[in-house]
Amino acid sequence: MNLNNFQIFRNKSLREALVLIEKNQSGIIFIVDENNIIVGVATDGDIRRKLLDGVQLEDSLESIYNKNFVSFSIDTSREKLIKKLDTEVSVIPLLDNKGRLKDIASRKHYPITKEEKIFSQSRAPVRISFGGGGSDLTHYFDKEQGAVINSTISIFSHATLKKRADKKIIIKSADLKQTLTAAHLEDAINKEGSFGLIQSVIKLINPDFGFELLIHSDFPLKSGLGGSATVAAAILGCFNQFRNDPWDRYEMAELAFQAERLDLGIAGGWQDQYASVFGGFNFLEFKKDQNIVHPLRIPKDILLQLEESLILCNTGAIHDSGDIHTSQKEEMKNNDVSKLVKSNVDLCYKMRDQLLRGRLYDFGLSLNEAWQAKRKFSNKISSPELDSIYNKALNNGAIGGKLLGAGGGGFFLFYVESEKRQSLVDHLISSNLTPTNFKFESEGLLGWKVREIDKK
């Protein structure tokens, strides 16, 4: 649309105004002063009436234009403009803050909305695992089939990604309480420091643009909740929003695994990545040729009762999951340990059926059975202090539970009957432990785009 056909200086003639009205085909012309500020409006009807009253075509517009007219700011919402066009006027001038014409809105023409800058955000949930741990290690299911059962909960890692016009990279981690600043991608990947996991993920993504990445999590580091996989998933979720060919969920889980296990070289299993990306209650089978995620359709009342029967408790002790998994790999060369893992896989199938049928008391007992087997996988999984916490919890109402993740510290998960829940909570608090409320989270990794607000 040519805006010059919609505006004319106020000292011009009626004839010149009509020529422009014929060109713009909208039946209207806007009158501007010497500073190009709109001061009035004239329609073809206004001009015809003046001609009938004796005004001549060569007379100036000064005496005939209407100074009382409808106009809106160029930033006016589409909704407001449409409502005005639907009720009162057919053409609206859109002005800048000085009153100069920037565009036209009419019943037949609406200005194209300017494409704003966007940024992406994502969140990925952590998981609690119930059984089968150890069988999701590649060196185990390369020979034997593995299986685990887990669920994501409403504790998340969050990421925000903004593209930059240059190649500069800024990564801020609230979890590490540090910022990495680099001139370009290669510089960012090779910087020494605490950003190893993040650098490994960025290296795999290999973005061709500069960016600002912000990361924060609802959980402490080395908690046993699969937090590192969750951070990796959240980062992938942000970058996936800018891809023309987005990764699917299996691809993102595999990328998260590759970044942590292969590139960074931290030993561990596969379940954390699948859990965080897929979300919900899942039964995962691990085979040499493929990994399969089976969502469990557990009735809502059973899930609610299970939620009321589980207590998440932070021991305050941190653990090194990579070190524990490395130790466990060596221990699995012992045939007895390998048999223990196999028994936990068989138990995992049993626990799946207990959940689906709502046999929650039996499920709680199975948690205890799984933990008693797992703590024998390696001497690094438990300790006298952790054993004491667990046994005292059993003495105060719990019927089962397990240390989450690889072991060595982090969070305990206890199963307790509803009527004994508060008694167990009181005991944990009196023992200087920290019970944590949670809800099951049915969604996995979520990513979305947001328009960037111009704060100028």
Active site residue 387: no
All structural domains of the chain? 3-106 (3.10.580.10), 119-436 (3.30.230.120)
CA separation for the pair 325, 348 (Å, rounded): 20
CA separation for the pair 14, 63 (Å, rounded): 10
Position 327 scores a pLDDT of: 57
Position 278 scores a pLDDT of: 97
How confident is the model over 357-363, as a mean pLDDT?
96
Q: What is the pLDDT of residues 72-98, one digit of tens each?
A: 999 888 889 999 998 878 899 999 999
CA separation for the pair 17, 13 (Å, rounded): 6
Categorize the per-residue pLDDT at 323 as very low, low, confident or very high, splitting at 50, 70 and 90: low
Query: Does residue 331 carry a pLDDT above 60?
Result: no
Q: What is the chain's mean pLDDT, rounded? A: 90
Position 321 scores a pLDDT of: 52
Q: Are 108 and 87 in contact (CB under 8 A)?
A: no
Pairing of strands 72-73, 91-95: parallel
CA separation for the pair 447, 200 (Å, rounded): 20
Position 452 scores a pLDDT of: 81
Residue among 272, 353, 362, 426 flagged as catalytic: 272
Categorize the per-residue pLDDT at 186 as very low, low, confident or very high, splitting at 50, 70 and 90: very high
